[in-house]
Amino acid sequence: MNTDVQIAIVGSAGDGTIAAGDILRRAMAEIGYRVISFDLYPAEIRGFGKCIARLRVSDEQAYSLKQKSDILVSLDDSHAIPHVGEAREWGAVIYETNSVNPLPEGAHLSAHIDPGQVPYNVPIRELAEKSTGAARSRNIVVVGYIIGLMRLPLEPALRALTGKFKGKGEIAQKNEAALRAGYEEGLRWFRLDDIEFGPPPAQERGAHLEMINGNAAIVRGALDAGIDTFFGYPITPATSIMERLASEMPKRGARLVQTEDEIAAISATLGAGFAGARAATATSGPGLSLMAEMLGFGVIAEVPSVVFVSQRGGPSTGMPTKHEQSDLNMAVFGGHGDAPRIVIAPTNVEGCYRCAGRAFEMAEAYQTPVIVLLDLYLSNRYETVPFPDRPPFEADTNRYADTRGGAAGFQRYVLTADGVSPRSTPGQPGGMHVATGLEHNELGRPNDQPDMHLAQSRKRHEKLKAALRHPGFEPAKRFGDTGAVDVGLVAWGSSFGECLEAMYLAQEEGIRCAALKVLMISPFPVEMATSFLADCKEVLVPEVNYQGQFAGILQMQVPRAVTRMTRIPCAPMRVEEILDEIRRLAGRVVEPQAA
Amino acid sequence: MGEIRPVYLEDKLKEVEDSGRLDYRSKALPTWCPGCGYFSIVEAVATALCELGIPNENAVMVSGIGCSSRFPFFINTYGIHTLHGRALPSALGVKTANPALTVVAVGGDGDGFAIGGGHVPHAARRNLDITYLLFDNGIYGLTKGQTSPTSAIGFKTPTSPYANPDRPLNPLLMLLSYGASWVGQSYAGDPEHLRSMVRQALEHRGFSYLHILSPCVTFDKTHRTYVNLGMQVHPLPATHDPADKLAAMGEAMKNEQAPAVGLYYREQRPTLDDALDALVEKAGGEKRGLRGGRGRKLR
Ligand SMILES: Cc1ncc(C[n+]2csc(CCOP(=O)(O)OP(=O)(O)O)c2C)c(N)n1
Ligand code: SF4
Ligand SMILES: [Mg+2]
C-alpha cells in the first residue's frame, strides 16, 4: 500500500494555522513518513491575514506538493471558501459546525462543497471549549481530529506538541486536552477508504530522519563541514541562516559577526578564507549585487569562500517575501571581468545540506568563491531528510604548499597542470605572499603582460573543470524514461520538484518523458546536457523568472532550440501548467483551463 | 663645537643590515614617486615589526586600492591588496579567523573616508584588535590628483578645477567618537616620530588608529607640501592626558587650524576577540585554539 496524502489547513493569522500544520508534519515525520511542506503567511498573500499550511505525507520523499489536497481543513470559512476546489474528488473537507461569528447566508463553507467532496462537519469550537475552557485551541483540536480520523497513533503528535510548547505548564496541559478531544472525535467517524495511510517505510540505516527547512539544512551542512567563520547582514529570505548559525556556531567554538553591510560581509569572508578558515556568508539578491566586486577579487586572488544566496522577487528591492529564481545570471555572471566561479543550486532540502557541505570542500579544493543558490520556496519549505550519522564531508580539502627553505619567494600562483596552485596561509613560514586583485605573476606580483594575463586567466578558468568531477557530487542527473523521449525537461533549483512531478504525471498518460536535474550551473555540465538533449524530441525548460535565465545559459552551452517556460507567479510554479506544456509539446490536445 | 665626524655609507649599510629590519622589506622596490611621504612609512613599519620581534609569517598587511594601498607589496609578510575601500572589513576576516596574527590595515584618505567610510566606525566600535595606518595626502594619488574627503576647501584639482567646495573631514575627531581605543597622529616628514608612533600603535591591544600626514609630491604643489606641513605640524601639548577623551576631542578640533602630532587617546577595553571568546563560553562551547590555517600552529 502506498501512502501519499496531502493535507491543507486554511485559516487566518490568529487561528494558529501554521502551528497546526507544524505539529501535524512533525508528528508525521516522527511516525516515520516522509513529508514535504510549504506554508503561506499573510505577508505572502493578498488579503487579510490568510494563512495556509500544506503538507504532503508519503512513504517516499516527494519532490513537490500536489495540486490537489486529500484533506482540506477550514479554520476560517471566509478564507477557506475560495480554496474548497483544492480538495480533490472524494477528498475530505473538514469545517466548523458553528462558526465563531454568526455568518450571513452563503458565508458558511457547507454551501460551497462540491458534490463528490466528502464533508466533515465538526464542532471544533465546542470541542476546544469543552476540553480547555476556551476556543483558542481549535487548531489543536483539528490536529487531533485528523489523526483520529486517519487512525494514526496519537503519541507522536503529543510529543510534537510538547516539543513545540515546551515547559509552558498549564498551556501544555490544555493543548494536550484539546488534542485528545479532537482525537476521540475523529475516532468516532468513519474513515474514508479513499485516503490511506499505510505503514511507514523502513528507516535507512546509518541515518536518522529529521524534518527541517532549506535554510536550516544549509546551516547543518555548514556546521557538519566545520565552518569556522560567518559574516553576514540580515535580509529576507536568507536571514534565518545567520540566526541559526548565531546560536549554533559558538557552541562549536566558531565565530560569527554581524557586519555593517554585505560588502563588509563578503570582504571579511574572503579575509577569513585567505587566513585559512572555512568561511561563509549568506544573502539574497540585493546583497549579492553589493558583493559582486568583491567576488571578483575572490576569483582573481583565488580565495576559498562560500556564499549562500536565497533568491526573492527582483529587481532592486523587488518583492522581499515572494518566490522567484531571477538571480541566476547575477550569480553566474555578476561582476566585471572574466570571473568564473562555481555556482551550485540544490533542488530540495536534502540537497541544501549536501550542497552546503560540498561547497566548502570545493571552495578549498579549487580555491574559489562558491555560490550556493537557493530561493524563498526552498529556504522555507520543510522536508524530511535522512541525515547521515557521520557527516559525509571532508574536513580539509586544501592543497598546501611545502614552503620550508623557500628563500627565493613563494610562488603562490604557480602554473600547474590542473590550474590549482598549492597555497600557504598566514602563520606558515616561508609562504609569505600578497593576494591581490591586480593581475599578477606566479609570485603574486602585479603584472599586466599579455602572456601572463592569458596564462593566469586560463588557469582560473581551467581549474574549475575538476569541480564537475568533485567526489560525492553529481553535477546533473537524469530521471524518467531512458533512451529517446518525446519531451525532455531541463530544470534547476526548487522548480525541479514541480517538473519531476509533472514528468511522472505525463508518463502516466503514456508520454515518453525524462527530466534532467542540473545541480551545478557553473561550470556547466556540458557533456551530460548534450547527451540528454540528443535524446529529446522536444525540450522544455520551466523556471520562475521572466527572461528564462537558465534556458539562456543552457543554450549558450548546448546550442539548440528549446521551449522556454517562464512564469513569475510570485509563488512556486504549478505542476498542472508544466504538465499542460508537456502535453502540448507531445502533440496532445490540451483542454483550455477554466479561469 | 664638537668635531664633525664623517658618516660612511658602508657603516650605515652595515648598521641597517645588522638591525634585521631589512628582513621585513620585500624584494620589490616601492613604485612610488621619488620623494613621496609613503617611503618613510614602509621604513617605520619594517622597523617596528623587527623591534617587536614579530615573525614575518605571523603578520598580515591588508590594504585597499590607492598609491598607499600598494604598501603590502613592499613588506615581507603576508598581505592582501583588496578592493578600493575594503581594507578594514577584510582585516576583520583575517583577524577573526586567526586572532594570533598581527594584522595591519593600511590605506589612503579616499580609501578610508570616501568609498570605505562606512566601515571605519564599525571596526572602531568593535575594538577589532588591529592597527589602521591611514596615509593622508589630502588627494587621490593613484588616479592622478583628484579631490579627496580630506582636501582643503578651495583646493584646485582636475575634478574641482575652480575650487573644492567641500569642507574636509576631521578624521581624528571621527575616530574618537567612533570609539577607537587608540588614536594618534604622525607625520611622514618626521621618520623618528613616525617609527615610535607605529610601534606604539602595534603594541596597543585593540583598535589603534594612526593618522599619518604625508605629502603627495607629484599632484599637490600648493597645499600639503613638505614646506607647508613642516611649518604647521607641531607636537601635542606636553600636558595633554591621553586618558582624557574630551581633551583629546578638543585637541582634534584644533587640527583644523594646524595639525598636532602625538598620542591623542588611549584606553584599554575588551577587544572583539575577547567578546567572541566570551560568546563561546556563554554558549557552552569549547574555545578553539586556532581557527585559521586549519591545524597549522603559529610560531
Ligand atoms: C570601486 C573603485 N572606484 C574607483 C577606483 C579608482 N581609484 C583607485 S585609487 C582611488 C583613490 C585613491 O586615493 P587614496 O585612497 O587617497 O589613496 P592615495 O592614492 O592617495 O594613496 C580611486 C578613486 C577603484 N579602483 N575602484
Ligand atoms: S602620486 Fe603622490 S601619493 Fe602617489 S606615489 Fe606619487 S607622490 Fe606618492
Ligand atoms: Mg590620498
pLDDT tens readout for residues A351-370: 999 999 999 999 999 999 99
The DSSP line for A551-583 is HHHHHHHS-S--EEEE---SSPPPHHHHHHHHH
Report the candidate in A442, A444, A276, A423 with the shortest Cα–Cα distance to residue B26. A444
Report the candidate in A256, A364, A264 with the shortest Cα–Cα distance to residue B118. A264
Distances (CA, A) of B114 to A279, A296, B140, B225: 28, 21, 10, 22
pLDDT on residue B298: 41
pLDDT on residue B294: 40
* CATH 3.40.50.970 corresponds to the domain A209-388: yes
Segment B109-129 mean pLDDT = 98
Cis before A523 (ω within 30): yes
Residue B292 has pLDDT above 50, yes or no: no
Residue B156 has pLDDT above 50, yes or no: yes
Burial degree of A525 (CB within 10 A; 0-12, 13-18, 19+): buried
Q: Which ligand is nearest to the CA of B188?
A: 2
Residue A36 contacts residue A56 (beta carbons within 8 Å): yes
Report the candidate in A106, A156, A100, A104 with the shortest Cα–Cα distance to residue A128. A100
Smallest Cα distance from B222 to chain A, Å: 32
Element housing B122 (H / E):
helix B120-125
**CA triplet A30, A34, A37: central angle to 5 degrees?**
95
Cis before A320 (ω within 30): no
Question: CB-CB: which of B93, B95, B100 is closest to A267?
Answer: B93
Q: Determine whether the interchain pair A276/B294 forms a contact, defined as Cβ–Cβ distance below 8 Å.
A: yes
**Chain segment A574-594, per-residue pLDDT in tens:** 999 999 999 999 999 877 765
Domain range summary for chain A, segments of one domain joined by +: 4-188, 209-388, 476-585
A386 phi and psi angles, rounded to 5 deg: -80, 100
pLDDT on residue B297: 42
Segment A508-534 mean pLDDT = 98
- Residue with the bigger pLDDT between B17 and A237: it is A237
Query: Phi/psi zone of residue B17: left (φ > 0), alpha (ψ -120 to 50 degrees), beta?
Result: alpha
On whether any CB of chain B is under 8 Å from the CB of A270, the answer is yes
pLDDT on residue A91: 94
CATH code given to domain A476-585: 3.40.50.920
Q: Ligand 1: distance of its center to the CA of B112 in Å?
A: 10
Q: Grid coordinates in use for A585?
A: 509539446
**Chain segment A31-76, per-residue pLDDT in tens:** 999 999 999 887 655 556 889 999 999 999 999 999 899 999 999 9
Identify the weakest region by mean pLDDT among A13-22, A553-562, B289-298. B289-298
**Chain segment B45-89, per-residue pLDDT in tens:** 999 999 999 999 999 999 999 999 999 999 999 999 999 999 999
Q: Which residue is listed with cell 563560553?
A: B281
Amino acid identity of residue A536, one-letter, is: C
Residue A551 has pLDDT above 60, yes or no: yes
Residue B299 has pLDDT above 80, yes or no: no
Segment A567-572 mean pLDDT = 94
Distances (CA, A) of B268 to A233, B16, B127, B213: 29, 34, 10, 26
**Chain segment A186-202, per-residue pLDDT in tens:** 999 887 778 889 999 98
B233 phi and psi angles, rounded to 5 deg: -65, 130
Residue nearest to atom 1 of ligand 2 (CA): B141
Query: What's the rounded Cα separation, in Å, for the pair A269 and A307?
Result: 9
Distances (CA, A) of A174 to A129, A136, A188: 10, 10, 22
Query: What's the rounded Cα separation, in Å, for the pair B76 and B58?
Result: 11
Q: Which ligand is nearest to the CA of B136?
A: 3
Element housing A87 (H / E):
strand A87-96
pLDDT on residue A102: 63
pLDDT on residue B287: 72
On whether any CB of chain B is under 8 Å from the CB of A278, the answer is yes
Segment A381-399 mean pLDDT = 96
Residues of A in contact with B276 (CB under 8 A): 250, 255, 257
pLDDT on residue A486: 98
pLDDT on residue A13: 84
Query: Phi/psi zone of residue A548: left (φ > 0), alpha (ψ -120 to 50 degrees), beta?
Result: left
pLDDT on residue A99: 65
Domain range summary for chain B, segments of one domain joined by +: 32-275
**Which strand ranges, in their side-by-side order, compose the sheet holding A369-375?**
A255-258, A229-232, A279-283, A305-311, A369-375, A342-344, A520-522
Give the rounded percent of residues in chain B with a pLDDT score beyond 70.
Answer: 95
* Neighbour tally for A560: CB within 10 Å: 12
Residues of A in contact with B81 (CB under 8 A): 434-438
Report the candidate in B151, B172, B153 with the shortest Cα–Cα distance to residue B163. B153
Give the rounded percent of residues in chain B with a pLDDT score beyond 90.
Answer: 88
Domain A4-188 top-level CATH class:
alpha beta
The DSSP line for A460-498 is HHHGGGGGGG-TT--SEEEEE--SSEEEEEEEETTHHHH
Q: What is the pTM of this model?
A: 0.96
Q: Which residue is listed with cell 571579511?
A: A268
Residue A27 contacts residue A144 (beta carbons within 8 Å): no
Give the rounded percent of residues in chain A with a pLDDT score beyond 90.
Answer: 86
pLDDT on residue A206: 85
- Sorted by sequence, the CB contacts under 8 Å of residue A123 that are 6+ apart come out as A96, A97, A98, A185
- Sorted by sequence, the CB contacts under 8 Å of residue B65 that are 6+ apart come out as A437, B81, B82, B83, B84, B85, B111, B142
Report the candidate in A546, A558, A475, A554 with the shortest Cα–Cα distance to residue A517. A475
pLDDT on residue A406: 63
Residue B217 Cα: closest atom of ligand 2: 7
Residue A340 has pLDDT above 80, yes or no: yes
CATH code given to domain B32-275: 3.40.50.970
**3 state DSSP class of B120:** helix
Report the candidate in A265, A276, A324 with the shortest Cα–Cα distance to residue A303. A276
Residue A290 contacts residue A451 (beta carbons within 8 Å): no
- Sorted by sequence, the CB contacts under 8 Å of residue B120 that are 6+ apart come out as B88, B112, B113, B132, B174, B175, B178
A176 phi and psi angles, rounded to 5 deg: -65, -40
pLDDT on residue A297: 98
Residue A178 has pLDDT above 60, yes or no: yes
Count of residues in chain A: 595
Return the bridge partners of A480, or none. Answer: A514
Mutate to test the interface with A, among B63, B73, B92 (most CBs of A within 10 A): B92
Confidence band of B296 (pLDDT split at 50, 70, 90)? very low
Count of residues in chain B: 299
Same fold: A209-388 with A476-585: yes
- What integer best gives the mean pLDDT of chain A? 94
Q: Determine whether the interchain pair A427/B91 forms a contact, defined as Cβ–Cβ distance below 8 Å.
A: no
Residues of B in contact with A231 (CB under 8 A): 89, 92-93, 96
Residue B295 has pLDDT above 50, yes or no: no
